Structures are given as C-alpha cells and as structure tokens.
C-alpha cells in the first residue's frame, strides 16, 4: 500500500509541476504579445549641423593615433642601474628603459630633422613608471618586461607587458 500511495503522490506532484509550467509559458506568451503590440517610436532630438561636422574629425584623429604599425615585447635588463649610488638607481633605470627602446625600436633623433618635421616621440606609460618606482628610489627591479608599440608617425609608446 505504501508504494502505491508514494507513486500517487509523485504522479500528483509531477502533474502540478506540468500545470505550473504551462501556466508560466502562457503568461510569458501573453506578455510578449503585449510588448510586441506596443511599439515605441524613438524620438530624435534635433542636432545642429555644426556639431555633426566637428565630431567625425576628432574620431578620425583618435583612430589614427591608435593605428599601430609595429609592436614588440621586450625584457629590459636593469641590473646595471644597481651600479649607481642608491639614491640614483630608479632614475637611472628609467634612462636605461628610454635608451633601450630608442635603440631597439629604431627611433632616430637627429638635429637635422628638427627644422624640417616633428621628431618621433617616446612615451613611457604611467604603469611602467610605477613598476620601476614601486620599491622606491634605491631598489628598482633587476629587469622589466614591456610592450612597445610604434604608430604610423613613428611615435613609440611603452606599456607594461601582459601579466606583469
């Protein structure tokens, strides 16, 4: 008798669950129909023509700056910065990073080019600077892993490599 009663209880519970599921589905379908019937037309705000013309050139400039021609990952050895007196080690490490990137990314800085056109810039990101200076002026890291990106104008930006 107990088995039969348990089976009846189980069958009643499954029937109740099926009924509840169908009720939820019907309710969801009704809501979808109500939502589809209510079509909202977007209201467009009038935009002056001058603002439209001014915005696209700014976007183009940002895209041009982000356009990367060459990108490399370097591990820069900074051990020779430790040869300097303790109070000059971190600044020396920053100079070593600049020299290394200038050499390996082939940044040319000649006096002749200054008059004719702009020199390519070397930009070291804030995160690289913070990594060098984390332990203070006396204890810079022995080496640092960086990602150098050169854009089409020849400007080089140095970022901290992924995972560091």
Percent of residues, the chain, with pLDDT higher than 70: 54
- Asked if CATH classification 3.10.440.10 holds for the domain at 68-160, the reply, yes or no, is yes
Q: pLDDT (tens digit, 9 = 90+) per residue, 28-58?
A: 555 545 544 544 444 555 555 544 444 455 5
- Radius of gyration (C-alpha) of the chain in whole angstroms: 33
Q: 134: closest CA among 126, 123, 146?
A: 126
Torsion of CA 151, 72, 131, 101, to 10 degrees: -70
Whether 92 has a pLDDT exceeding 60, the answer reads yes
pTM score above 0.85: no
Highest mean pLDDT among 76-85, 104-113, 114-123: 76-85
CA-CA distance, 25 to 8, in Å (whole number)?
Answer: 26
Confidence of residue 7 (pLDDT cuts 50, 70, 90): low
Q: Tokens for 86, please give them.
A: 């303790």
Q: Of 48 and 78, which is predicted with more confidence?
A: 78
Which residues lie below 8 Å from residue 104, measured CB to CB, with a gap of 6+? 72, 74, 148
Which ranges constitute the DSSP H helices of 38-46?
Answer: none
For the record, the structure tokens of 30 come out as: 């009704």
Q: What is the reported pLDDT for 39?
A: 46
């Amino acid at each position: 008798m107990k088995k039969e009663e348990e089976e009846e209880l189980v069958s009643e519970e499954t029937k109740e669950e099926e009924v509840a599921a169908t009720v939820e589905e019907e309710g969801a379908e009704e809501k979808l129909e109500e939502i589809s019937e209510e079509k909202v037309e977007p209201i467009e705000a009038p935009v002056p023509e001058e603002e439209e013309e001014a915005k696209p050139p700014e976007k183009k400039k940002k895209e041009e700056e982000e356009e990367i021609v060459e990108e490399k990952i370097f591990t820069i050895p900074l051990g020779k910065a430790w040869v300097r007196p303790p109070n000059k080690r971190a600044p020396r490490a920053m100079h070593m990073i600049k020299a290394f990137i200038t050499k390996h990314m082939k940044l040319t800085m000649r006096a002749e080019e200054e008059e004719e056109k702009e020199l390519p810039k070397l930009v070291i990101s804030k995160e690289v600077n913070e990594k060098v200076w984390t332990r203070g002026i006396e204890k810079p890291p022995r080496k640092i892993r960086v990602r150098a990106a050169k854009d089409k104008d020849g400007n080089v930006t140095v970022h901290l490599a992924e995972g560091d």
